[in-house]
Structure 1
């Protein structure tokens, strides 16, 4: 069952969206609701979902800012923007920020069914192309627990045997599980998570690059810069300069 998070500041809208999702009859389940983007980001630090339905207009943190911050912390969940504004510019902006689709309120069951059906089909095709078999429910739950341990363990050292001990698994089994689910080795997954954390620290804090390198466990600044450039296409200093203006404004407010 694919897990969904609903994000809207109005309770009746969240209730309505939950019901519309249920009416599609598709293998999806709404597992949680949040009233703003900030509380959703906090919840996602401990939990995992595959899809997020997010309102474009909310207090504290709106849907677009939420997508931006989600990507900054390494979140790869797909996001569908829900809006009461039938304006192409809104849809265009949402797509530019990384939304996979754009639905208008009130969302009809047929529209939701088409949206979710397209999403499920795309995911199935991606898994087939990658040659990765589907995980059963128990394996999926296990992987989510491990991914959460990785997120919570950053920026410290993360060894496969230590994570395996935390979730009471054999390290060899855990290594195979990661390969089946992500198509990559555990060490590569951790390396990417570490670099996503580096991106977040560069864009949202004023820490010196050398401090970020040390914080993430890179003993040599030049090596960190080389790895970061290979991953993003930019050296850390240039990435920080090109940080999107909305994020830089957030940085300033947090200082």
Structure 2
């Protein structure tokens, strides 16, 4: 998701640009607007943005001074200039400062989309290049972590994968040294390296960059930037691990796959029930309990109850990170009668108690 700050002293232009930008067919949102460069800097002190679209001539601080300041203090950001024909020399100066491109007033939707495409492409390429450089720089120090990933994927170790992902997140965060926007592309580079390590398995892998759409608020406060990108990175690693587990398990027959998917869907819909039983699950798919238990273990590498536990623990993580619910409230919503039992299950799954896990992610 790319977040944009629009800076122009005309309220009409700010509103029009915001509407056109949010109609762009891609992952983009307008996080803030400002009437001049100084107000834009005030906004940036407390919020995060990937792109600044700025007019040239504004009171207090013009667009060129704003771009120069952004370059020095927010190196992950790209800038786009808005100018009139009379300001072309200023626009040229903005390009010399590293702006992606300029837009002439009145700004058309077609030109805006063209320049946004260019800006997003530059951001993606720049961050991918930086992430690749970090991976090469730390090539000799991550062998143990890579060995753990290969072992988990090869031997289908779902149960301890979440803790491995958190350990990987901590390792990657040390590498980025405060540039949290690099966690996403760095997670992708890490997954591609895992794929390289598994190539001798003679399986074709294809990984696509995951989406962080829906994660985080439209406007991310500066003190939440680290937390936001850590959550995005965790989801990216989880998506990659899930895909690799699926590939390594091989293709299943349509009938078997549909039966397994029905079981999984049933558990995901009824995880909060205190009365869910193996007999209920078996009746739902029309199999005997013993046959279903063996089939599920054979096809997924885990038991039905471990899968239910995994669903509950993932829901627990979401509640811990995104709500202010008490532990006993979370336990109840997950179908557990006792908070102590829920906490013990959580720690067995993730190696950390619920409160320790929340603290480690938010630290």
Q: Give the TM-score, by structure 1 length.
A: 0.53
Q: What is the match of residue 29 of structure 2? A: 29
For residues 34 and 8 of structure 2, the distance between their equivalents in structure 1, rounded to whole angstroms, comes to: 6
Q: What is the match of residue 215 of structure 1? A: none
Q: Does the Cα contact within 8 Å between 2:48 and 2:222 map onto a contact in 1?
A: no
Describe the superposition over 1:173-198 as per-residue Cα deviations: whole angstroms up to 9, x where unpaired: 97xxxxxxxxxxxxxxxxxxxxxxxx
Following superposition, the deviation at residue 44 of structure 1 comes to 0.6
Within-5 A mapping of 1:92-107: 92-107=92-107
Aligned-pair RMSD on alpha carbons? Answer: 3.2
Q: What is the match of residue 85 of structure 1? A: 85
Describe the superposition over 1:83-118 as per-residue Cα deviations: whole angstroms up to 9, x where unpaired: 123554222211122312111011111111111112
Following superposition, the deviation at residue 2 of structure 1 comes to 0.9
* Structure with bigger RCO (C-alpha 8 Å, 6+ apart): 1
Within-5 A mapping of 1:69-80: 69-80=69-80
Is 2:335 the partner of 1:145? no
Describe the superposition over 1:184-238 as per-residue Cα deviations: whole angstroms up to 9, x where unpaired: xxxxxxxxxxxxxxxxxxxxxxxxxxxxxxxxxxxxxxxxxxxxxxxxxxxxxxx
Q: Does the Cα contact within 8 Å between 2:48 and 2:225 map onto a contact in 1?
A: no
Q: What is the match of residue 12 of structure 1? A: 12
Max Rg structure: 2
Flag structure 2 segments of 5+ consecutive residues without an equivalent. Answer: 133-185, 189-208, 228-357
Is 2:119 the partner of 1:40? no
SS in structure 1 at match of 2:85: coil
Is 2:139 the partner of 1:60? no
Q: Does the Cα contact within 8 Å between 1:20 and 1:107 map onto a contact in 2?
A: no
For this pair of structures, how many residues does the alignment match?
156
For residues 64 and 57 of structure 1, the distance between their equivalents in structure 2, rounded to whole angstroms, comes to: 9
Q: Does the Cα contact within 8 Å between 1:80 and 1:99 map onto a contact in 2?
A: yes
Q: Give the TM-score, by structure 2 length.
A: 0.38
For residues 97 and 44 of structure 1, the distance between their equivalents in structure 2, rounded to whole angstroms, comes to: 19
For residues 4 and 49 of structure 1, the distance between their equivalents in structure 2, rounded to whole angstroms, comes to: 5
For residues 28 and 18 of structure 2, the distance between their equivalents in structure 1, rounded to whole angstroms, comes to: 11
When you count helix as a share of all residues, which structure comes out higher?
Answer: 2
Describe the superposition over 1:33-68 as per-residue Cα deviations: whole angstroms up to 9, x where unpaired: 100111110111110010010000101111011112
